Amino acid sequence: MVILLPKKTAILIVLSALVLCACQQSPPAVGQAPRLSSGATLAPAEGKRGVAATSTDASADGETSAPASPRKLALYAVGDIMLDRAVGKRIKSAGCAAVIEKLAPELARADIVFGNLESPLSSVGAHDAPNCCFRADPAAAKVLTLGHFGVVSFANNHCLDPGREGYLRTLKRLEEIGVRYCGASAERSQASWLRIMEAQGLKVGFLAYTDLDFTHACYSKVPRDLALHRQAIGQAKNKCDLLIVSYHWGQEYAERPSERQKTVARAAVGGGADVVLGHHPHVLQGIGLEQGSPVLYSMGNFIFDQRPGVRMESALFKLFYEEGQGWLVKVVPVWLPPGRYGPEYPGPQKRDAILERMGKYSQALGTETRTESGVLLVNCPPPQGAGTD
């Protein structure tokens, strides 16, 4: 029996089906070129930051509607996460929660949590943990979900420790648990692709690279020609509201950023980066400001098993964005106690020492800081005139 529907009803049914199909796109499979989260792209940004100006819309009867509320974002970022060696042994004996439970409730407050995954997640491939050839148990990936990580960088000098198969299995494992990654792909030529996430009405893009002065196998590297790098960042910025660029760079255990780090940061911000997130030195470095963009030169260790001292004294970086107002960075001290290898909040004496050190490092970079209630604050207003016509 054929049922005839009114013309308007039939059109509505067809349109609804098309919308449903559009919203059910599958995530890219490992080995395929990743696709952007939306087929639509934003208009090219004006100048560096491209902060959208608030506008009013005229209604059909000529009245003007109220301006839209400024969009806001809470991005939490941390440094190196290594789930092998002594950390892996603790996870095996005490469970995944043992290394993340102290900060998990706070991390749950963020719109997006970012970190650098320093160890592949694979049951196959080369493995020599005492000599820093890392390969963590894939089951340890639960640490990332317990910590509410939305996206991790996998562009570092350890990503290919267990070889290509271990690398691919890591990407597959991350996809299985719903943690997105950047700076990695099955194809070397696609590794520096733009990951776009949506939060609070904002398209937030992530790029990740290594920039190290020794030979390593990572697929996503900063090109020698920084003009090309700046151009690639500019193209990515045109596809999102906010662009976060992550770098595995600098010298291990150096508490001051190198001139190379500063040069690359300037290129990134000049291209359109709204935030630069750094890791690899395994100790904290200061916060710089480039054209209103915060540059976190090194976020230190977050889950690791290094010797006590400054290597195990770190921070949770809370970055709060408000459209038209720029960023506010809150540095919350944490430390990694012996035997736990995961972060917890320190007592007042250690907390204040971390704050003092971060303040000193940041001020040496020309950044004004202040301390309130056990937290270091850095205001990052947009440059004058940004976001205006």
CB atoms within 10 A of CB 20: 9
Q: What angle do CA 206, 212, 216 make, to 5 degrees?
A: 95
Per-residue pLDDT of the chain (389 residues; tens, 9 = 90+): 444 545 444 444 444 444 344 333 334 455 444 443 333 323 333 333 333 333 333 444 556 666 789 999 999 999 999 999 999 999 999 999 999 999 999 999 999 999 999 999 999 999 999 999 999 999 999 999 999 999 999 999 999 999 999 999 999 999 999 999 999 999 999 999 999 999 999 999 999 999 999 999 999 999 999 999 999 999 999 999 999 999 999 999 999 999 999 999 999 999 999 999 999 999 999 999 999 999 999 999 999 999 999 999 999 999 999 999 999 999 999 999 999 999 999 999 999 999 999 999 999 999 999 999 999 999 999 987 665 43
Q: Which of 78, 137, 82 is nearest to 103 (CA)?
A: 78
pTM of the model: 0.85
Q: Determine the Cα–Cα distance for residues 359 and 368; give it in Å rounded to an integer.
A: 8
For position 64, what pLDDT does the model report? 62
Sequence-distant (6+) residues with CB within 8 A of 83 are 91, 119, 121, 136, 137, 140, 141, 143, 303
Report how far residue 287's alpha carbon sits from residue 276's, in angstroms, rounded to the nearest whole number.
10
Residues 191-217: tens digit of each pLDDT: 999 999 999 999 999 999 999 999 999
pLDDT given for residue 59 in this prediction: 42
CA pair distance 276, 227, nearest whole angstrom = 17
Alpha helices in the chain (DSSP H): 7-22, 85-94, 104-107, 142-146, 163-177, 226-237, 259-271, 348-364
Domain boundaries, the chain: 72-380
> Is 169 buried (19+), middle (13-18) or exposed (0-12) by CB count in 10 A?
buried
- The helix, strand and coil proportions of the chain, stated in percent and rounded to the nearest 5, come to 30, 25, 45
Residue 63 CB neighbour total at 10 angstroms = 8
The string of pLDDT tens digits covering residues 60-99 is 455 666 678 999 999 999 999 999 999 999 999 999 999 9
What integer pLDDT is reported at residue 106 of this predicted model? Answer: 98
Amino acid 132: pLDDT: 96
Given the candidates 1.10.3720.10, 3.40.190.10, 1.10.10.10, 3.60.21.10, the CATH classification of the domain at 72-380 is 3.60.21.10
8 Å CB contact between 320 and 72 = yes
How distant is the alpha carbon of residue 213 from its chain centre?
A: 23
Sheet of strand 287-290, all strands in order from the earlier edge strand to the far edge: 195-199, 202-211, 242-249, 275-279, 293-296, 287-290
